[in-house]
């Protein structure tokens, strides 16, 4: 069913929310082929539509293998080396989880009593503070269904085989499941719910191999690592208590969880001794290269000492699109040149350190499963896969459009007053491509002192346009006696740029500035 919007007002931007953040999405805005709202409302939930690499089946007869290349369903991406498919396994898993969720009798859920209790708590408890969003509960429900229910239901066989094949092809040493959740939709809460579900069951069913109380949370940087301290049961702001994610009688079980929060850089083997070049040459002598790096075991002892001896660790990857094994036998950098080639190399090296670290944990200790969380679980340049294609082990999706339509996040804005002439496409629509070569490449504290007025004119104009809208919004909020000011966030490519943008607002725009804070973190 479709609802026509006849008003001349752009309803999507003025009133985009169609659903409750706490209930299953019932409607969505129709988008055209360019991804722009048509102003028509469609009844029902938005489908997940992605292009994803097709994992090879374990057994495939020659005739079927040849037939697979006759039709290119990958929108021009498929080759004999790698096929891509625009259909998504997510929709089938979502359908099966929806049917399971609607079973009225908990006895028919085919989960443990502890899991059933947690599900009822998250779905129906009268929270005093922040109640879990539907998208958060759905993400955890999907993991629960795949872990406790799907192995016992024949209808789930196809979905389980797809996930298994995807991991064998791309992550042969690991079993990964990816949860796609829009930025701002609360991945930290999802992590806390996953830890609670696993820990309570592990404590009360100690012989079960499906559950664990050992967790390794891996992040791409220090800022995110610090933010995730609320996952520790003994933290003053622990989500299990402060957000009432666990019934009171289960809190003691949560305290038995062993949680390590680190960043992927910690997996890189470190030097055990500092040697000058001359000193190293002297010690090496005629016996060859001197190995002064710590061993893999020593690295694990440094990173996760409290989990040494555990055999069944669950890994939670935050911003997991940085973690992958590049496709073997493929020229990862392809035809890339200049900055793009350098970026691909950087992506590949970071991903290699991250996933190699997890493989070491799996080999030395034991990893039951890796749960990836990301708003963009897509392959990056340098992976050997087509950039922007979905991780094929993705099992749940709550996109940015879904989050906007449910009132979970705000509508992102781009500058629309493009007053810089030239070209058919407005420059602000893809500003980075026009200014990337003029932007500072070094981090803060390196090289010469940078002048905020040296930022490209296109960027300054775009910021002025966005700030103009923010200033108007600020004034409206003040007149409406809203005490918490609106927040204006600018995401930058590195810390040098973020500092320059901040200084630009303090200086050139200080006469207009209302409220500014500075977090020295570049975008990834």
pLDDT digits (tens, 9 = 90+) for 122-179: 999 999 998 999 999 999 999 999 999 999 999 999 999 999 999 998 998 899 999 9
Question: Does 70 or 506 have the greater pLDDT score?
Answer: 506
Q: Is the pLDDT of residue 518 over 60?
A: no
**SS3 category, 37:** strand
**How much is the average pLDDT of 276-300?**
72
Domains of the chain (ranges; CATH) run: 2-43 (no CATH), 52-58+69-271+293-328+338-405 (3.40.50), 427-506 (no CATH)
Please tell me which residue, 511 or 266, carries the higher pLDDT value.
Answer: 266
The pLDDT assigned to 284 comes to: 61
Averaged pLDDT, 349-362: 94
- 179: enclosing H helix or E strand: strand 176-181
pLDDT band at residue 506 under the 50/70/90 scheme: low
Helices (H), 416-488: 431-435, 457-479
Average pLDDT on 258-280 reads 82
pLDDT band of 473, cuts 50, 70, 90: confident
The model's pTM is 0.83
Beta strands of 210-356 (E only): which ranges?
214-219, 258-263, 313-318
Separation of alpha carbons 409 and 388, rounded Å: 23
pLDDT of residue 334: 60
Per-residue pLDDT band for 221 (boundaries 50, 70, 90) equals confident
pLDDT mean over 182-200: 96
Instruction: Give the span between the Cα atoms of 343 and 441, in whole angstroms.
Output: 12
What pLDDT score was predicted for residue 59? 55
Contact 409, 17 (CB under 8 A): no
Comparing 428 with 446, the larger pLDDT belongs to 428
Rounded Cα–Cα distance for residues 292 and 199 (Å) = 39
Q: How confident is the model at residue 448 (pLDDT cuts 50, 70, 90)?
A: low
Q: Which of 109-113, 436-440, 447-451 has the lowest mean pLDDT?
A: 447-451
């Amino acid at each position: 069913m479709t609802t026509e919007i006849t008003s001349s007002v752009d309803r999507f931007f003025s009133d985009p929310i169609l659903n409750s953040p706490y209930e299953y999405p019932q409607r969505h805005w129709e988008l055209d082929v360019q991804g722009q709202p048509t102003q028509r409302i469609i009844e029902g939930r938005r489908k997940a539509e992605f292009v994803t690499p097709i994992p090879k089946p374990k057994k495939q007869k020659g005739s079927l293998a040849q037939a697979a290349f006759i039709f290119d369903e990958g929108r021009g991406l498929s080759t004999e080396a790698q096929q891509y498919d625009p259909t998504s396994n997510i929709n089938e898993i979502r359908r099966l989880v929806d049917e399971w969720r609607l079973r009225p009798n908990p006895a028919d859920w085919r989960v443990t009593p502890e899991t059933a209790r947690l599900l009822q708590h998250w779905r129906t408890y009268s929270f005093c503070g922040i109640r879990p969003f539907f998208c958060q509960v759905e993400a955890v429900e999907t993991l629960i269904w795949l872990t406790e229910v799907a192995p016992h239901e024949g209808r789930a066989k196809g979905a389980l085989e797809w996930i298994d094949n995807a991991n064998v092809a791309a992550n042969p040493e690991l079993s990964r499941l990816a949860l796609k959740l829009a930025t701002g939709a609360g991945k930290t809460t999802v992590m806390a719910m996953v830890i609670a579900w696993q820990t309570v069951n592990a404590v009360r069913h100690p012989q079960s191999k499906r559950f664990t109380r050992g967790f390794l949370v891996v992040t791409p940087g220090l800022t995110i690592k610090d933010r995730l301290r609320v996952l520790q049961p003994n933290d003053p702001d622990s989500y299990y208590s402060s957000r009432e994610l666990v019934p009171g009688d289960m809190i003691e079980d949560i305290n038995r969880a062993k949680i390590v929060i680190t960043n992927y850089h910690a997996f890189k083997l470190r030097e055990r001794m500092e040697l000058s070049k001359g000193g190293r040459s002297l010690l090496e002598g005629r016996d060859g290269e001197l190995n002064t790096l710590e061993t893999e075991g020593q690295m694990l002892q440094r990173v996760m000492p409290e989990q040494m001896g555990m055999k069944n660790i669950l890994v939670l990857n935050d911003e997991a699109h940085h973690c992958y094994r590049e496709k073997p036998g493929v020229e990862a950098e392809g035809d890339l040149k200049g900055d793009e080639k350098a970026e691909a190399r950087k992506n590949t090296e970071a991903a290699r350190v991250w996933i190699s670290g997890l493989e070491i944990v799996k080999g030395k200790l034991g990893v039951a499963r890796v749960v990836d969380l990301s708003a963009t679980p897509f392959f990056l340049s340098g992976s050997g896969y087509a950039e922007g294609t979905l991780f094929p082990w993705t099992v749940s999706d709550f996109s940015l459009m879904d989050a906007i339509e449910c009132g979970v996040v705000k509508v992102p804005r781009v500058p629309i007053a493009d007053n810089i002439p030239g070209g058919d496409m407005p420059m602000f629509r893809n500003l980075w491509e026009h200014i990337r070569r003029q932007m500072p490449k070094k981090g803060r504290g390196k090289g010469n002192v940078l002048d905020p007025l040296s930022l490209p004119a296109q960027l300054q104009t775009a910021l002025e346009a966005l700030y103009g809208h923010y200033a108007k919004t600020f004034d409206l909020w003040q007149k409406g006696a809203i005490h918490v000011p609106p927040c204006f966030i600018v995401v930058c490519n590195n810390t040098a740029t973020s500092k320059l943008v901040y200084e630009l607002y303090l200086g050139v725009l200080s006469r207009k500035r209302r409220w500014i804070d500075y977090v020295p973190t570049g975008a990834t």
